[in-house]
Structure 1
Amino acid sequence: MLLLGDIAPSLALSIQVGAVVVWLGFVFSLSAILRQFGNNSELVRKVVHIGTGNVLLIAWGLQIPLWLCLIAGGLFSAIAYLSYYTNILPMLNGVGRKTHGVFYYAVSITLLVALFWRIDLPQFAVVGVMVMSWGDGVAALVGQRWGKHSYSCLGNKRTLEGSLAMLGVSYLIVVLVLSLANGWLGGGSELFHSSSHHWLIALPVAAIATLFEAFSPGGTDNLTVPLSSALLCYTLNSGLTPF
């Protein structure tokens, strides 16, 4: 983990904010370029979806404090809510549907930060958000490009190929984040030292995330998937390791 405690607080804060701003600038610039060259709106939206989710990984790595994360989360939530009614950020809008999904996404990030940053276990917030951002993002793109076997759950149209992609990506995300946490918290050289239980925890977490992604109606998967996967991961991990 990048430690900023040995430098001036004002400089540390500048580095933290600057890193997030640069990353978000890159994400939105890339989405604008993709739109300019006529790429389909689902691809553009998922680039933003995945890219914004990675901000929490940056916040974890740079040890951005809780208060700053909450301010950013509140601002993101407000913008996301307004984007439902106005055209603030057109790349956030869904494809062929109008839901509060982006708002739920912002709220879930804020809630997870408030919960897990406070108890100094940010890796579980990162698990929830990245399972949603990468798992759901890849699932949508795979389903759109290669989906051949479709099914419907509570009005949601899904494909078997997309759901399998969600399961696989979510599984890998959980393993990688928990392994990184083990390495950062255990001294770096122990990156995969005691990670055998990570492979066991990852399966039920990925499965529940995939089920919620399939069954949650009206964009609520952006709330149910990150919260359920983070809380389940925390519960299972707490039962297997002495956090």
Structure 2
Amino acid sequence: MFNSVSSLESFPQLWLQIALIGVCLGVIVLLAEGLHRYTSTDPERVRKVVHIGTGNVILLAWWLNIPAWVGITASILASSVALLSYKFPILPGINSVGRKSWGTFCYALSIGILVAWFWSINQPQYAALGILVMTWGDGLAALIGQKFGKHPYQFGGSKKSWEGSFTMFLVSYAVSSLILLGVHGNIWQSWAVPLAVALAATALEAFSWYGIDNLTVPVGSAAIAFFLTGLLLT
């Protein structure tokens, strides 16, 4: 299901694949900026378009077997742009100037960390798992919580809703299960490990001061899935 294609044999083909990923990311960013500039779409929803859209590119990178240096370089560039955007009006629809959150920076940083870690040991599925748990779990939890969250709670200084946290748990479990089922097949570990991942991801998402969950959720989810799967399959 999630098998990657064979490694590229020619340099031009590699750059064609990199260009394909670049085009996908560019379209998502331009769409978000268009929504911000020319529509009355809520700024938080615009950010979630980018949050969810860009995260899914990890599946394309996995399938195409893109080299790790590409993902790491992209992470460094995106992190640099994110840091600059806190000072200058770079892509304001994605990260408003003065917004008290390191979420965009942490997002880019987490992708670089996970690609560097799991591409180097030929286990890209765990990088994809961590990023997609953040992409879909955190993204949908925020949207559902804002629209349907009728039962708020406060965890330290972070305000959440039970509806949003329940969404985070369900989506994290679904994402983790699909990836582990695709890689390991229909074995009990593919159903049990996602429970631990979903619980941890939901707890980490509750600690979301200044957007730090965009780093802790993907890295924590991937690490738990990796170590538990390795432990239970040996």
Cα drift, residue 94 of structure 1? 6.1
2:220 is the alignment partner of 1:218? no
* The one of 56, 69, 72 aligned to 2:71: 69
Tell me if the contact between 2:177 and 2:191 (Cα under 8 Å) persists in the aligned partners.
yes
Distance 1:212 1:92 in 2: 23
Distance 2:58 2:15 in 1: 17
* The one of 172, 182, 185 aligned to 2:174: 172
- In structure 2, the residue corresponding to 1:39 is in which secondary structure? coil
Between the two proteins, the alignment pairs up a number of residues equal to 231
- In structure 2, the residue corresponding to 1:152 is in which secondary structure? strand
**TM-score normalised according to structure 2 size:** 0.92
* The one of 208, 215, 225 aligned to 2:200: 208
- What residue in structure 2 maps to residue 121 of structure 1? 123
* The one of 89, 92, 96 aligned to 2:91: 89
Tell me if the contact between 1:109 and 1:129 (Cα under 8 Å) persists in the aligned partners.
yes
Letter in 2 for 1:169: V
**TM-score normalised according to structure 1 size:** 0.89
Cα drift, residue 133 of structure 1? 1.1
Distance 2:5 2:202 in 1: 35
Q: 1:157 to 1:97 in 2, by over 3 A?
A: farther
Distance 2:161 2:141 in 1: 9
Unpaired stretches in structure 2, ≥5 consecutive residues: none
Distance 2:173 2:71 in 1: 26
Distance 1:201 1:27 in 2: 32
- What residue in structure 2 maps to residue 241 of structure 1? 233
Distance 2:156 2:104 in 1: 20
Q: 1:227 to 1:45 in 2, by over 3 A?
A: same
* The one of 106, 111, 114 aligned to 2:113: 111
Task: Map 1:32-51; keep pairs closer than 5 Å.
Answer: 32-35=33-36, 36-51=38-53
Cα drift, residue 4 of structure 1? 4.3
Give a deviation string over 1:195-229, Cα, whole Å, max 9, x none. Answer: 43211110110110000100232211111111111
- What residue in structure 2 maps to residue 13 of structure 1? 14
Tell me if the contact between 2:4 and 2:63 (Cα under 8 Å) persists in the aligned partners.
yes
Deviates more, 1:129-138 or 1:79-88: 79-88
Cα drift, residue 42 of structure 1? 1.0
Deviates more, 1:91-100 or 1:56-65: 91-100
- In structure 1, the residue corresponding to 2:160 is in which secondary structure? strand
Q: 1:214 to 1:95 in 2, by over 3 A?
A: farther
Unpaired stretches in structure 1, ≥5 consecutive residues: 183-192
Identity %: 45
Give a deviation string over 1:124-161, Cα, whole Å, max 9, x none. Answer: 11111111111000000001111100111121111110
Tell me if the contact between 2:32 and 2:94 (Cα under 8 Å) persists in the aligned partners.
no
TM-align CA RMSD: 1.8
